[in-house]
């Protein structure tokens, strides 16, 4: 069947969805117990592409902003074969910012593209499933008792990520080390503010088996981040400082690497360009997530084999994932050979 010969009658549908978190999530600046998602579908001649926007409150998107955006999207402009660059330019013309809802459309388009081409997204994006990195499991700030319980939940993961920024970061690490010697990633979430103190802490963290540190200082303080990067024995990764493609080049000389998230990059197409740019510049690459379902997780997993570190624990931290859990073996997501994202809607067809 040659789709070029068909009238391309694309349809867009979407539903708000409140994704509930397993644990109330506390990082340096706030707590919350659920995340608003917008689930998006693009339909074409019996094929459906699935996408998702995860709108964590501090990023500024909401059901209202997402709905207003989607109502302005003219899907008749999405003609096959898809010109992802032109489509992203078009979405950027509708409104600046709003990367999460743009990502939802981009992910749905990638899923649909794979289904029309009868290939998995990971294959179309040039990933080798064998190169899949282990995924870290994030543990938020909590009392020692709760921390220990959360670490028990992390059985089966090869790396744990811990959010720092409490009044006693060393005490938190000591609590973790009293129960497990699992490798750790540390996310400071811009919580540090003194260079010398930070460097002392970094040396101490190095002795504790910490493998990377995310965003130590404010994203608006490149000098402190660069100062620490120059001296740190642990890779320093820019997260909040790196949103879309132009931010990659700016990260050079300030961080050892960047954290790419689809909800920041406006989706898979730009994330792939950021990966290529980072490789060109010699920057290391982490791929991360927000609170997400299997849908956005599979979208990120399709690119993860091209990254050095993966932090894609979204579905493990939620209780009402509306899709089937992707396969997860030995601490790694397992890419499948389903067309598109390889997203299964339900656990069992017959139940």
231 lies in the binding site for a second copy (CB under 8 A): no
What's the closest the beta carbon of residue 169 comes to a second copy, in angstroms? 24
325 lies in the binding site for a second copy (CB under 8 A): yes
Nearer Cβ to a second copy (117/206): 117
334 lies in the binding site for a second copy (CB under 8 A): yes
50 lies in the binding site for a second copy (CB under 8 A): no
Residues in contact with a second copy, total (CB under 8 A)? 32
DSSP string for 228-252: HHHH-SS-EEESTT--SHHHHHHHB
114 lies in the binding site for a second copy (CB under 8 A): no
Phi and psi, residue 238, nearest 5°: -80, 125
What's the closest the beta carbon of residue 1 comes to a second copy, in angstroms? 15
185 lies in the binding site for a second copy (CB under 8 A): no
Interaction residues for a second copy, span 117-156 (CB under 8 A): 118, 129-130, 132, 137, 153-156
CA dist., res. 256 & res. 285, Å (int)? 9
Among 27, 283, 285, 335, binds a second copy (CB under 8 A): 335
Q: Which residue stretch of 90-98, 191-199, 225-233, 337-345 sits at the interface with a second copy (rule: CB under 8 A)?
A: 337-345
Nearer Cβ to a second copy (281/334): 334
Burial class of residue 257, CB neighbours in 10 A (0-12, 13-18, 19+): buried
CA dist., res. 286 & res. 48, Å (int)? 30
Q: Which of 317, 330, 242, 344 is nearest to 287 (CA)?
A: 242
CA dist., res. 284 & res. 278, Å (int)? 7
Q: Which residue stretch of 195-203, 220-228, 254-262, 342-350 sits at the interface with a second copy (rule: CB under 8 A)?
A: 342-350
Asked if 222 contacts 211 with a C-beta cutoff of 8 angstroms, the reply is: no
Q: Which of 245, 240, 203 is nearest to 225 (CA)?
A: 240
Helices 222-231 and 195-207 sit at what angle, rounded to 10 degrees? 40
Q: Which residue stretch of 8-16, 236-244, 249-257, 316-324 sits at the interface with a second copy (rule: CB under 8 A)?
A: 316-324
Residue 157, classed as helix, strand or coil, is coil
Asked if 14 contacts 23 with a C-beta cutoff of 8 angstroms, the reply is: no
CA dist., res. 96 & res. 20, Å (int)? 28
Nearer Cβ to a second copy (120/238): 120
224 lies in the binding site for a second copy (CB under 8 A): no
What's the closest the beta carbon of residue 330 comes to a second copy, in angstroms? 8
337 lies in the binding site for a second copy (CB under 8 A): yes
Asked if 111 contacts 49 with a C-beta cutoff of 8 angstroms, the reply is: yes
What's the closest the beta carbon of residue 325 comes to a second copy, in angstroms? 6
Question: Contact positions toward a second copy, by CB under 8 A?
Answer: 22, 118, 129-130, 132, 137, 153-157, 315-317, 324-329, 334-339, 342, 344, 347-350
């Amino acid at each position: 069947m040659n789709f070029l010969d068909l009238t391309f009658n694309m349809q867009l549908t979407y539903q708000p969805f409140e994704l509930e978190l397993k644990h109330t999530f506390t990082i340096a600046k706030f707590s919350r117990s659920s995340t608003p998602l917008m689930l998006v579908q693009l339909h074409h001649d019996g094929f459906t592409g699935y996408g998702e926007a995860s709108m964590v409150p501090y990023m500024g998107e909401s059901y209202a902003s997402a709905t207003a955006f989607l109502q302005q999207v003219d899907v008749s402009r999405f003609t096959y074969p898809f010109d992802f660059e032109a489509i992203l330019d078009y979405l950027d013309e509708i409104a600046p910012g709003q990367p999460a809802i743009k990502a939802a459309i981009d992910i749905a388009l990638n899923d649909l593209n794979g289904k029309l081409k009868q290939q998995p997204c990971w294959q179309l994006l040039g990933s080798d499933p064998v190169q899949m990195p282990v995924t870290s499991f994030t543990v938020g700030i909590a009392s020692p008792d709760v921390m220990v319980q959360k670490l028990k939940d992390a059985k089966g993961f090869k790396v744990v990520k811990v959010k720092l920024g409490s009044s006693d970061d060393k005490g938190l690490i000591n609590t973790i080390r009293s129960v497990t010697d699992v490798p750790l990633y540390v996310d400071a979430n811009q919580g540090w503010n003194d260079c010398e103190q930070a460097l002392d802490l970094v040396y101490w963290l190095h002795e504790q088996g910490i493998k990377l540190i995310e965003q130590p200082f404010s994203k608006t303080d490149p000098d402190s981040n660069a100062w620490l990067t120059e001296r740190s024995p642990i890779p320093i990764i820019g997260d909040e400082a790196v949103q879309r493609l132009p931010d990659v080049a700016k990260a050079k000389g300030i961080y050892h690497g960047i954290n790419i998230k689809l909800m920041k990059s406006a989706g898979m197409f730009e994330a792939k360009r950021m990966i290529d740019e980072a490789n060109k510049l010699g920057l290391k690459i982490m791929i991360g997530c927000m609170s997400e379902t299997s849908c956005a997780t599979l979208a990120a997993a399709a690119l993860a084999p091209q990254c050095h570190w993966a932090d894609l624990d979204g579905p493990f931290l939620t209780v009402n994932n509306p899709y089937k859990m992707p396969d997860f073996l030995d601490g790694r997501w397992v890419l499948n050979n389903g067309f598109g994202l390889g997203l299964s809607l339900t656990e069992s067809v017959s139940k």
